[in-house]
Structure 1
Amino acid sequence: MMMSKLLKTLAFLTLAFIFTLPLSIEAKDKVKLSKSQKLQHKRAYNLLDLELYEEAIEEYNKLLEMRGDYDQFLFEAGIAYLRSPKSFSQAEKYFEKALKYSGEDTIKELYYYLAKAYQVNHNFDEAKKAYSNFIPNIKQNKKGQKLTGVVQWDIKTCQHGVYHVKLNSKNPLEKQKKPLNDVKKYFINATDFVVLQNMGANINSISDDEGAVFLNNETELFYTSKRNPSGTTTSLSSSVEYAYEHVYSSKKILGEWKTPFLLKSANLFSNDFELNPETHISIISINKAENLMFLYKSGKLYEIKREGLSWSTPAELPEHINLKKSHEPAVCISDDGSYIIVVSDKKGGYGGRDLYTSKRSEDGTWGPLENMGAVVNTEQDEDTPFLMGDDLLYFSSKGHSSIGGYDIFFSEFKNDKWKNPVSLGIPINTPGDEVSYVRSKINNEVAYYSSSRLNGYGYLDIYRVTAHLEKRRDLLPDVLLADLMADELANKEVVEDTTVIAVVEEVKEEDPVIVEEVVVKVEKKVPAPTPEDLFRDILFKFNKMEIADDSKEQIRKISEYMKANPDYVVNLNGHADYLGSDAINQVVSRQRALVVFNELIKDGADPYRVHYNYFGESKPKADGKNADGSDNVDNRAKNRRVDFGLEQLNMFRYITYASSSSSVSEKAKKLLDEVANYSKANPTVKVDLRGFSDPSGPAAANMILSEKRTQAAVDYLITKGVSKSLIISKAFGETVPTPPNMPVEYGRRVEIRIQ
């Protein structure tokens, strides 16, 4: 079997235990292939196995011209496209065709990779469906249970993606064009935009390039790359089996970054410090004064001090930081030098890699590692920290509200504690990996980071980031992109009927050129996004209708958030663990949803914008039993929960009706007039109407009545000039549960939603 290298190739998508499933890479014996087809398949497959994706794509296209209806060939071609930094956006069509032609012997991994292909294209809803279709194919052994957890988190990242896309008044990544150069401008609303500039072919290569560190007024750049030390930026390492990370340096002369050279040629350190070409070496970070540097080599962190014009011999950090049984790949230091933040996967953390602090003692030594806690760290991985000052932390995380892979987040230190991390959002983050975010020391409006974006030179490229804030320009010098993309800033005002220009502009930085214009009329404020901790589940104590202590504050925050954002709708979903009968668990899950509902209403949330449902034990978040069938107490606790979906709408209204009536009241007409005016000012948006009835009377009659109420609202909007083609309507009768103690008119309503 041609398998070993390809397993490593596919491992970037998830953990290795996915391959407990049978991986169907080789052609099935029962399929008859011609001699020429077999030969061409071998050529294509060998290139895929060697991770030469562009070359593999070329050969697979030749193969598909010979046999374009074979699911296995299409699947392998999709893998090649998905791993290609220049072409991964095309992968989904090959997986879709593979799914079309697959029969009883469906490739079990296909739905997973189809989901990944949808996700990298920001097609988050379809990705969620494909992930859900993949889960039944997972073996329910110990490794399979872990894999199920991974896929469930993947689904969660897609939910985050849906949310983050909606934060911008226009999705800045829609209708991407192949760039004319290395600079792209992304408008996130009518006035504000982000410019991402690839550092270019002199800096980036076909291999991963990351970890930019600057010296001497940002005229010297040091960064980490896996490129071939003896080759060019477009050639792979001399050993495709394994590549070492090395530090490269480039100097900026007359505004241009010159061809990089190996760290050894920079002569930073004395010859006593060996820079072995067959080991991993990275310059991790440098302090603000540029007199203290941290370096990673052979699994250990080193500290280097500047002495005049030269650097001291690197000295290992103490053993209580360079731990023997764990991995510490990154460190950064506060501006005042009082503490460092270290990445470690030591036992006892919250996830794989966590962030830890170490304080400097009076004698200058570093103290023990202290975990930064559950506010910053998650069950996933955190990495590449960067401190701006002493109280603003940027870092990468696969958790929090990541939309896939590592995303960039920031957290502020206020009132002696770190605040909830906030994502820098789209377009800074993608469903791939974003790491090593650093702010410029000489220009507050500039940052650098590494990102796995479409049309890069390799999987990870280094980018220069700038931003323009017309409405909040005063904030740029202070926090820059933290303010631009942060939750607090999403409530910046947008002028009524302002034109949004160029969803994506392909420009030269010094001379912007508009490539395409997209006109979108806006007449309302962009609502503030959800605090990141609102993505967490609300948990309950065992055998009680009592909310766990950690979740009580969360409910208060949800209520406050809803009061501040009147066009949001919350959908509560109650769940139970597997103990007890199905009937009892249905009741228990309903009661839990109602407990949360009542708490939200008590805290001031609008009851018309809180919906609930319940599912008993049918949708567990984790397997409540161990592989041997014994009870898993911790997992059961995760299933005693209320989770929720948050719908961000540009407009939400509801109208009510008299009992047994479908006549539109004068009060309702005024609300519908608001909807009509918005629709006419925004002639491309859909208007979604949903009709309901109370439970009095026969169910069939209630369904008919809710249909009449919905149609009455539709007819009124049409008379006010709303195009019939823009209206979506559906009646639910009494099928949606009505919470107890609600006003009688609650059930007799039509909701109007505009996305």
Structure 2
Amino acid sequence: VQNLDINTATSDFGGTLQDGKLYITSSRNDNRKKYGWNEEPFLDIYEYTVAEDGTYQGEELLEGDINTKYHEGIVSFTPDGKTMYFSRESFFENIYEKDSLSNTKYSVLHLFKATKDSDGFSEVEALSINSPNYSIKNPSVSADGSMIYFASDMPGGYGKFDIYKATLDANGNVGIPENLGQKVNTEGQEMFPYISSDNTLYFSSTGHLGLGGMDVFHTKEIDGKMAPIRNAGTPINSNGDDFAFRMNEETGEGFVSSNREGGKGSDDIYAIKKLQPLCDVLITGTVVDEKTGDVLAGATTSLADANGNILATKTTNAEGVVEYIVECETDTELQVTMEGYESNKVSVDGTNEEEVAVSVALTPIEEIVTPVEVVLNPIYFEFDKSNITAKAAFELDNLVQVMNKYPDMVIEATSHTDFRGSDSYNQGLSERRAQTTRQYIISKGIDASRISASGKGETEPAVDCNPCSKEQHQLNRRSQFLIVKQ
């Protein structure tokens, strides 16, 4: 991250490259009236020529009909560079003013587009989605020109400013704005969206967990849903406000604006260079019926981290497929549940591969019922503890499914310990574990009369060993579910 030489003592931000030009927003124009909020001149759009040595030369106010006596904001271009979208301050009469001698006006920010010709950018036109009742600002056009992203405080959002997107047709007509939802937007402010060439969405926020002030975050839309929000981290973010992020995904170079300590003005533009590529892995899971091989649509899947914490939950599509994005070298577990089937899960080892495909087979629930017991995957307890872990609950939910399917079934839950500890202590521990197991089943809506519990201590080991290995001890710490009544 490097402070640009073109920064001044006033506010400079933005940084958009197009056709050999750098476009920024700045309040350096002393010929403009000063803005009362910060006593700096109103903002204008400037352009520089990118020299052969990579420096920015020839500062000029953007020619054409773009700059006015009021604020103009950061810009974005269509892929061919012929149409520029930008923010501009717009003023309206305050119709609620009761004093006829007053000439009070209020301002909002609106989006405009302009067409490039030999004299610069002209034919300025306001977008149809503008309204005198709210602001729309910070445009970013997608790499294929089919979508425009922006920030707005229009009604129906989740916070002060939210990120929206809308379609763009070949004639530049804008579709109905769509809020990106609560995963992206918070009760705080989300602004300065930027959609990169690989469809990574960068934006700045005060509502997500950050380093201080406004931070840069990023996410990606997968299968119609937004991936987990990630903080861009240092040195992109600081304890100040960091915003107006731009990144060329091919070169790894871009810009970020910040009012961090050590700058030249209130806001400065910093050149950034990605030294280590952002490493994401796309996990594609397919859920099938173990008996028939048919894909299972509508199965509930959850992705858990190495500690069992649920990162996200999705439902398989019509092809039985679900997709998640995680950071490289992150171990995860894909858990799958579906009514009428035994729950199952598969471990997904962390990798640097771009995509990992896994398959999860679900067994019809009746397959785990034998004449004498309901056979679940092992339900292990932590050493010297009786609480139900997340992994244990995942398995016990299968028993709940069985008991719901067979309403006359009565179960005895037995709990066993390893050999560590005295006989009397282990007997008490197993009793506590059995009762905890029973209470979990009851909490899921099963009548208490249908399940009893007993502790067996160390009297019925699965492995009779002395001494025992760690694995053998774990095998002995188990639960069984005997069928008392079919």
> Secondary structure at the residue paired with 1:365?
coil
2:151 is aligned to: 343
- Confirm or deny that 1:405 pairs with 2:213: yes
State which of 161, 167, 170 in structure 2 corresponds to 1:353.
161
* 1:375-399 Cα distance to aligned partner (Å, 9 max, x none): 3222222111112237332222223
Are the structure 2 counterparts of residues 250 and 412 from structure 1 closer, same or farther at C-alpha, using a change threshold of 3 Å?
Answer: same
Contact 2:257 2:267 survives alignment (8 Å): yes
Are the structure 2 counterparts of residues 244 and 347 from structure 1 closer, same or farther at C-alpha, using a change threshold of 3 Å?
Answer: same
Compute the TM-score of the two structures, normalised by the length of structure 2.
0.53
How does 1:349-388 map onto structure 2 within 5 Å?
349-361=157-169, 364-388=172-196
1:197 is aligned to: 2
In 1, Cα distance between the equivalents of 2:309 and 2:241?
19
Contact 2:150 2:165 survives alignment (8 Å): yes
- The structure where helix makes up a greater share of residues is 1
* 1:288-322 Cα distance to aligned partner (Å, 9 max, x none): 3222211212222110122467433211111xx21
1:424 is aligned to: 232
Are the structure 2 counterparts of residues 535 and 207 from structure 1 closer, same or farther at C-alpha, using a change threshold of 3 Å?
Answer: farther
> Secondary structure at the residue paired with 1:602?
helix
Shift of 1:258: 5.0
Are the structure 2 counterparts of residues 439 and 241 from structure 1 closer, same or farther at C-alpha, using a change threshold of 3 Å?
Answer: closer
* 1:419-452 Cα distance to aligned partner (Å, 9 max, x none): 33322223322232221111237x5221211134
Contact 2:18 2:81 survives alignment (8 Å): yes
Contact 1:343 1:384 survives alignment (8 Å): yes
How does 1:657-676 map onto structure 2 within 5 Å?
658-659=420-421
- Confirm or deny that 1:332 pairs with 2:140: yes
1:282 is aligned to: 73
Contact 1:405 1:432 survives alignment (8 Å): yes
1:213 is aligned to: 16
In 1, Cα distance between the equivalents of 2:151 and 2:237?
21
Letter in 1 for 2:111: L
Unmatched runs of 5 consecutive residues or more in structure 2:
90-108, 284-304, 314-330, 336-345, 351-384, 397-417, 430-434, 439-454, 459-486
In 1, Cα distance between the equivalents of 2:389 and 2:308?
21
Letter in 1 for 2:19: N
Compute the TM-score of the two structures, normalised by the length of structure 1.
0.36
* 1:562-602 Cα distance to aligned partner (Å, 9 max, x none): 97699xxxxxxxxxxxxxxxxxxxxxxxxxxx9x9644543
- Confirm or deny that 1:222 pairs with 2:4: no
In 1, Cα distance between the equivalents of 2:255 and 2:395?
42
In 2, Cα distance between the equivalents of 1:212 and 1:292?
17
How does 1:532-547 map onto structure 2 within 5 Å?
534=311
In 2, Cα distance between the equivalents of 1:251 and 1:292?
19
Letter in 2 for 1:226: S
2:55 is aligned to: 257
Letter in 2 for 1:421: I
Are the structure 2 counterparts of residues 289 and 604 from structure 1 closer, same or farther at C-alpha, using a change threshold of 3 Å?
Answer: farther
Are the structure 2 counterparts of residues 307 and 228 from structure 1 closer, same or farther at C-alpha, using a change threshold of 3 Å?
Answer: closer
State which of 422, 439, 455 in structure 1 corresponds to 2:262.
455
Are the structure 2 counterparts of residues 362 and 209 from structure 1 closer, same or farther at C-alpha, using a change threshold of 3 Å?
Answer: closer
In 1, Cα distance between the equivalents of 2:309 and 2:85?
31
* 1:226-266 Cα distance to aligned partner (Å, 9 max, x none): 346369xxxx9999645422223333334263566452xx4
- The structure where strand makes up a greater share of residues is 2
Identity score, percent? 25
How does 1:552-591 map onto structure 2 within 5 Å?
none
Contact 1:331 1:385 survives alignment (8 Å): yes
Shift of 1:328: 1.0
1:313 is aligned to: 123
* 1:592-634 Cα distance to aligned partner (Å, 9 max, x none): xx9x9644543489xxxxxxxxxxxxxxxxxxxxxxxxxxxxx
State which of 390, 393, 412 in structure 2 corresponds to 1:602.
393
2:451 is aligned to: none
Shift of 1:333: 1.2
Are the structure 2 counterparts of residues 659 and 533 from structure 1 closer, same or farther at C-alpha, using a change threshold of 3 Å?
Answer: closer
Contact 2:206 2:213 survives alignment (8 Å): yes
In 2, Cα distance between the equivalents of 1:456 and 1:239?
20
Letter in 2 for 1:411: T
Unmatched runs of 5 consecutive residues or more in structure 1:
1-195, 470-479, 490-527, 537-556, 567-593, 606-655, 662-692, 698-738, 746-755
* 1:32-53 Cα distance to aligned partner (Å, 9 max, x none): xxxxxxxxxxxxxxxxxxxxxx
In 2, Cα distance between the equivalents of 1:433 and 1:529?
33
